[in-house]
């Protein structure tokens, strides 16, 4: 667990459409986790999610991003990354992007289930990565996804 | 002595042994680890510290009587099942079955032990849960590795919940002439089996050189096994005064449960080897997980329970 002063500066990035539905979710999302809420609907949104994240970074906050954009229900170790990570890396090139593998997170509470099961979770941190000067979007997203998947423990907990 | 006096005498004895162990650990660290840090001495000392914690926990549970012991072992079952399932490749289709196992099966099994309903708690998990959880998994219509997933979930429940619940179940046995003293049966079981583990470790470190099961565990030796089992059996015979057994019977039963405990260590090591891990978890410093510490008690408890139930109880 992070020490309290760091925890106060660390915020998850989450979907506004989910976390703004109902008073309880709003309280948990904004009050408890102090989430940076972004609008996933590119058709109707008025603010750019990458700008929202960059603004939080400018306030010296650390962000927890889930670059798959949703929970993984496939048999792959990770879904392809969404492009937000690339746009953020281009907008704030000095920010360290640290891959973090959370083992068993998906088994504790798969998408669509209501009761979490209390498994032991381990968190593995990798070396920070940065966007190369001439790196293409697809290549960067693929490279960062591989950096994450490489952290998965090899003891066969994956289905 | 009254049962309470016997219990207190027993705990004082254990505390005396642990005090000696702590002093020895302290001296070893001063003598040898000062110049060159030694992983063995560090591990020995963290094990001794953890033993103080575990003995204190059991002491507190004993002070609360039957309710305390049931709560303690129910929590141990939850922790053990959690470690087991963490290392089991379950899939999304098992989620409901696992949630039921954690939040319904564990409390219900210990409730049945609490109300002494032997006829149900001895078949609840092997029969009813066995059939129910397979059904719940089938309803999710994910057939990949189905047999393996269902079997492993059931195996985890049998080990971490069903077998372990036989420790508090000892409190429900009615043994003529032994009324009000059943907590001491738990003390006997835990003390003999855990001493056997410790003595096997000590004998192995001091005199062990022939590996007994190199493919399962590099640290288990023939000398450790023989010395540990023999000395734990002798300890059991010496503890006859807290049991309903004669000294000879106490020794025979101690031999039986130390052998079961050794088998438990072997079986659980085989699983860990297959999963590529050294320990089940990291809850108990120096020991690993709850399953690492309880594997021997888990295998010994049902056999101990049924031996007494058949030969001694009403």
Q: Enumerate the residues of chain A whose CB falls inside 8 A of the CB of residue B144.
A: 159
End residue of a domain, out of B172, B205, B231? B172
pLDDT at residue A157 in the model: 42
**Interacting residues of B36 by C-beta distance below 8 A, sequence separation 6+:** none
Alpha helices in B214-312 (DSSP H): 222-238, 247-275, 290-311
B281 and A CB contact within 8 Å: yes
- Are B161 and B54 in the same domain? no
Q: With beta carbons less than 8 A apart as the criterion, state whether A79 and A70 touch.
A: yes
CB contact under 8 A, A119 and B276: no
**Interacting residues of A51 by C-beta distance below 8 A, sequence separation 6+:** A91
Mean pLDDT in residue range A70-90: 86
Could you read off the pLDDT of B212-258 as tens digits, one per residue? 988 888 889 999 999 999 999 999 999 999 999 999 999 999 999 99
Is A158 a residue whose pLDDT tops 70? no
Per-residue tens of pLDDT for chain B, all 314 residues: 788 888 899 999 999 999 999 999 888 888 876 777 778 888 888 888 888 989 999 999 999 999 999 999 999 999 999 999 999 988 888 999 999 999 999 999 999 999 999 999 999 999 999 999 999 999 999 899 999 999 999 999 999 999 999 999 999 999 999 988 999 999 999 999 999 999 999 899 888 889 998 888 888 999 999 999 999 999 999 999 999 999 999 999 999 999 999 999 999 999 999 888 888 888 877 778 899 999 999 999 999 999 999 999 87
Could you read off the pLDDT of B155-177 as tens digits, one per residue? 999 999 999 999 999 999 999 99
Q: Which of A115, A119, A156 sits opposite B89 (nearest CB)?
A: A156
**Structural domain that includes position B26:** 1-63
Could you read off the pLDDT of A91-138 as tens digits, one per residue? 888 899 999 998 888 889 888 888 899 998 888 999 999 888 888 889
Is A19 a residue whose pLDDT tops 90? no
ipTM score above 0.85: no
Interface test mutation site (partner A, options B86, B106, B281, max chain A beta carbons within 10 A): B86
- Are B86 and B217 in the same domain? no
Could you read off the pLDDT of B134-149 as tens digits, one per residue? 999 999 998 999 999 9
Query: Whole-angstrom Cα distance, residue B300 to residue A1?
Result: 37
Q: Which of B86, B89, B102 sits opposite A159 (nearest CB)?
A: B89
- The pair of structure tokens assigned to A2 is 């992070």
- Are B90 and B137 in the same domain? yes
- Are B123 and B40 in the same domain? no
**Interacting residues of B172 by C-beta distance below 8 A, sequence separation 6+:** B113, B116, B118, B182
Query: Whole-angstrom Cα distance, residue A46 to residue B117?
Result: 64
Q: Among all residues of chain B, which has the CA nearest to that of A72? A: B92
Q: Enumerate the residues of chain A whose CB falls inside 8 A of the CB of residue B78.
A: 118
Mean pLDDT in residue range A30-52: 83
- Are B198 and B248 in the same domain? yes
pLDDT at residue A156 in the model: 45
- Are B168 and B183 in the same domain? no
A138 and B CB contact within 8 Å: no
Q: Give the containing element (helix H, strand E) for A64.
A: strand A62-64
pLDDT at residue A155 in the model: 54
A107 and B CB contact within 8 Å: yes
Q: Give the containing element (helix H, strand E) for B189.
A: helix B183-207
CB contact under 8 A, B275 and A155: yes
- Between the alpha carbon of residue B306 and those of residues A114, A146, B175, B182, the distances in Å are 40, 54, 13, 14
How many domains are contained in chain B? 3
- Are B113 and B167 in the same domain? yes
- Between the alpha carbon of residue B217 and those of residues A28, B179, B221, the distances in Å are 47, 42, 9
Query: Whole-angstrom Cα distance, residue B303 to residue B308?
Result: 9
- Are B164 and B200 in the same domain? no
- Are B161 and B197 in the same domain? no
Query: Whole-angstrom Cα distance, residue B314 to residue B309?
Result: 8
Q: Which of B92, B276, B281 sits opposite A155 (nearest CB)?
A: B276
- Are B100 and B191 in the same domain? no
Mean pLDDT in residue range A16-22: 82
Q: How many CB atoms sit inside 10 A of residue A100's CB?
A: 12
- Are B167 and B197 in the same domain? no
- Are B206 and B226 in the same domain? yes
- The residue to which tokens 């950096």 are assigned: A147
Burial of A69 (0-12, 13-18, 19+ CB in 10 A): middle
């Amino acid at each position: 667990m992070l020490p309290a002063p760091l925890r106060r500066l660390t915020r998850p990035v989450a979907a506004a459409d989910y976390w703004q539905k109902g008073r309880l979710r709003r309280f948990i999302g904004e009050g408890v986790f102090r989430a940076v809420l972004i609008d996933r609907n590119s058709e109707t949104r008025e603010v750019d999610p990458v700008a929202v994240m960059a603004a939080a970074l400018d306030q010296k906050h650390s962000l927890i991003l889930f670059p798959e954009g949703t929970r993984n229900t496939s048999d792959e170790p990770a879904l392809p990354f969404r492009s937000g990570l690339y746009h953020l890396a281009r907008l704030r090139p000095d920010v360290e992007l640290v891959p973090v593998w959370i083992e068993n997170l998906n088994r504790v509470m798969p998408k669509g289930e209501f009761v979490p099961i209390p498994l032991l979770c381990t968190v593995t941190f990798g070396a920070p990565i940065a966007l190369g000067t001439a790196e293409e979007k697809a290549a960067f997203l693929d490279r960062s996804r591989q950096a994450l998947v490489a952290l998965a423990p090899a003891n066969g907990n994956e289905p | 002595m009254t049962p309470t006096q016997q219990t207190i005498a027993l705990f004082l004895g254990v505390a005396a042994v642990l005090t000696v162990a702590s002093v020895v650990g302290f001296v070893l660290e001063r003598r040898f680890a000062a110049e060159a840090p030694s992983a063995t001495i560090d591990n020995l000392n963290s094990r001794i510290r953890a033993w103080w914690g575990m003995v204190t926990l059991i002491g507190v549970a004993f002070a609360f009587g039957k309710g305390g012991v049931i709560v303690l072992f129910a929590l141990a079952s939850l922790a053990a099942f959690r470690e087991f399932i963490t290392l089991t490749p379950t899939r999304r289709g098992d989620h409901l079955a696992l949630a039921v196992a954690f939040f319904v099966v564990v409390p219900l099994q210990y409730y049945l032990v609490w109300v002494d309903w032997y006829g149900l708690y001895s078949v609840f998990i092997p029969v009813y849960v066995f059939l129910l959880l397979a059904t719940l998994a089938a309803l999710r219509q994910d057939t990949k590795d189905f047999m393996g997933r269902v079997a492993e979930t059931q195996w985890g429940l049998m080990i971490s919940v069903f077998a372990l619940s036989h420790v508090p179940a000892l409190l429900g046995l009615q043994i003529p002439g032994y009324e009000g003293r059943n907590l001491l049966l738990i003390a006997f079981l835990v003390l003999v089996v855990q001493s056997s583990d410790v003595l096997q470790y000590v004998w192995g470190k001091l005199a062990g050189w022939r590996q007994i099961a190199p493919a399962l565990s590099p640290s288990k030796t023939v000398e450790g096994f023989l010395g540990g089992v023999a000395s734990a059996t002798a300890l059991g015979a010496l503890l006859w005064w807290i049991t309903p057994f004669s000294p000879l019977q106490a020794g025979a039963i101690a031999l039986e449960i130390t052998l079961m405990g050794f088998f438990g260590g072997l079986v659980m090591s085989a699983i860990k080897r297959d999963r590529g891990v050294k320990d089940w978890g990291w809850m108990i410093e120096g020991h690993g997980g709850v399953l690492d510490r309880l594997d021997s008690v888990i295998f010994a408890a049902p056999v101990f329970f049924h031996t007494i139930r058949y030969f001694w109880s009403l």
